[in-house]
Amino acid sequence: MGCEMQDEVYHIPVLLNECIEALKIQEDGVYVDCTFGGGGHSRAILEKLGPGGRLVAFDQDADAKQNLPDDPRVLFVPHNFRHIGRFLRLHKCSGVHGILADLGVSSHQFDEAERGFSIRFDAALDMRMDKRTEITAASILQTYSEQQLHKLFEQYGEVTNSKTLARTIVENRGRMPMQTIQQFKAAIQGVVKGNPNKYLAQVFQALRIEVNDEMGALKEMLEQVPDLLLPGGRVAVITFHSLEDRLVKQFFKQGSFEEEEDHPFETREKSSLLKVITKKPLLPTAEEMKRNSRSRSAKLRVAERI
Ligand SMILES: C[S@@+](CC[C@H](N)C(=O)[O-])C[C@H]1O[C@@H](n2cnc3c(N)ncnc32)[C@H](O)[C@@H]1O
């Protein structure tokens, strides 16, 4: 029953009220939803906007378009949010009142077998959110060096035996097919450690992050935020794993992605144009986590343009 319900719903918005409160929506403001998906956050923003307000919604996945409301206040941009500045300038809305990003994949993407995101199905190892791009999970497994694979499984998946996993992939890829989820699982079954579902979920997460260059896109978007927000405007970002959260936290605090420890003897001016609103990230309530298990790892950070 639970599964049937999930399949019908494109995506259940996470930390919805928290995001809307954080954005302090002004009736006539211009807002950007970087990750439209099922449109849950966008619809809540639109409810707060008056007839003069505007919402620019990005999604690089063409499937998201089916959820667009018939609303003249909405402009849909079917592209990667890493190009946020360029598209806002193109549509003559460079100064905006709020920017929201709810990172990662939607339940729809995860639950569509043929997209290749989930270990539950058998399909081509694709994992592209944007089908116009070329790199798929299968092509990464075929072309990356052992060192590159090791690094990506270690960094993006925190896979405990990432070195062994990378070696196994490189050893097996010449003699075993690795184009589908089941073929890949068979090729690495000898090195799966601990709970297989947890292990494979970490491996798949790492591949997904690499296929979609999720860290690169997040950094590029964040770097543009201070210039796009009007003074007093808010940015709210929901992350789902620690690497993303660390990037958002650092950028909000220091206006850069450099580790403070990189310059231990320098007292450097903090040059962030953002004021941190959430010293600690906001987390879903126990009730939300119970209602929507996919909200479990969500963290919301908010900052305001000075
Ligand atoms: C977690 S879902 C967002 C769900 C949405 N907030 C809702 O309430 O339905 C993330 C969505 O953002 C899109 N997305 C992820 N990264 C993106 C990027 N770099 N550029 C544009 N869209 C992206 C995905 O295709 C997906 O539809």
Average pLDDT over residues 218-247: 98
Tell me the three state secondary structure of residue 121. coil
Quote the tokens at residue 33: 């939803």
Share of the chain above pLDDT 90, in %: 92
**133/61 Cα distance (integer angstroms):** 11
Put simply, whether the predicted model's pTM sits higher than 0.85 gets the answer yes
Average pLDDT over residues 76-87: 98
Any ligand 1 atom below 6 A from CB of 53: no
pLDDT at 259 > cutoff 90: no
**237/219 Cα distance (integer angstroms):** 12
**155/63 Cα distance (integer angstroms):** 29
- Residue 296 CA, chain-centre distance (Å), reads 15
Tell me the three state secondary structure of residue 299. strand
User: How does strand 54-58 pair with strand 74-77?
Assistant: parallel
Q: What is the mean pLDDT of the chain?
A: 94
Q: What are phi and psi of 201, to 5 degrees?
A: -60, -40
Q: Considering only CA atoms, which residue is closest to atom 2 of ligand 1?
A: 106
Q: What is the pLDDT of residues 101-157, one digit of tens each?
A: 999 999 999 999 999 999 999 999 999 999 999 999 999 999 999 999 999 999 999
**290/264 Cα distance (integer angstroms):** 43
Amino acid letter, residue 11 = H
Between the CA of 81 and the centroid of ligand 1 the distance, in Å, is 9
| pLDDT value of residue 258 | 84
Any ligand 1 atom below 6 A from CB of 292: no
Between the CA of 61 and the centroid of ligand 1 the distance, in Å, is 8
User: Probe ligand 1: pick from 55, 65, 129, max atoms within 8 Å of CB?
Assistant: 129
| pLDDT value of residue 2 | 33
Between the CA of 31 and the centroid of ligand 1 the distance, in Å, is 16
Count of alpha carbons within 13 Å of 287, Cβ hemisphere only? 1
**Alpha helix positions (H), the chain:** 2-8, 16-23, 40-48, 84-90, 107-111, 137-143, 146-157, 162-172, 181-188, 196-211, 214-228, 242-254, 286-291
| pLDDT value of residue 6 | 40
pLDDT at 57 > cutoff 80: yes
Average pLDDT over residues 217-230: 98
**215/82 Cα distance (integer angstroms):** 10
Residue by residue, what is the 3-state secondary structure of 130-159? CCCCCCCHHHHHHHCCHHHHHHHHHHHHCC
**214/152 Cα distance (integer angstroms):** 12
Between the CA of 216 and the centroid of ligand 1 the distance, in Å, is 15
Average pLDDT over residues 16-21: 98
pLDDT at 8 > cutoff 70: no
| pLDDT value of residue 263 | 63
Q: What is the pLDDT of residues 168-203, one digit of tens each?
A: 999 999 999 999 999 999 999 999 999 999 999 999
Those residues with Cβ within 8 angstroms of residue 305's Cβ, 6 or more apart along the chain or in another chain: 225, 226, 229, 230, 231, 232, 233, 234, 235, 273, 274, 275
DSSP state of 92: T
Terminal-to-terminal C-alpha distance of the chain: 48
| pLDDT value of residue 261 | 64
Stated length of the chain: 306
- The strand pairing partners of 300, in sequence order, are 238, 282
Quote the tokens at residue 222: 């964040």
pLDDT at 3 > cutoff 50: no
pLDDT at 5 > cutoff 50: no
Q: What is the pLDDT of residues 146-159, one digit of tens each?
A: 999 999 999 999 99
User: How does strand 229-239 pair with strand 54-58?
Assistant: unpaired
Q: What is the pLDDT of residues 30-54, one digit of tens each?
A: 999 999 999 999 999 999 999 999 9
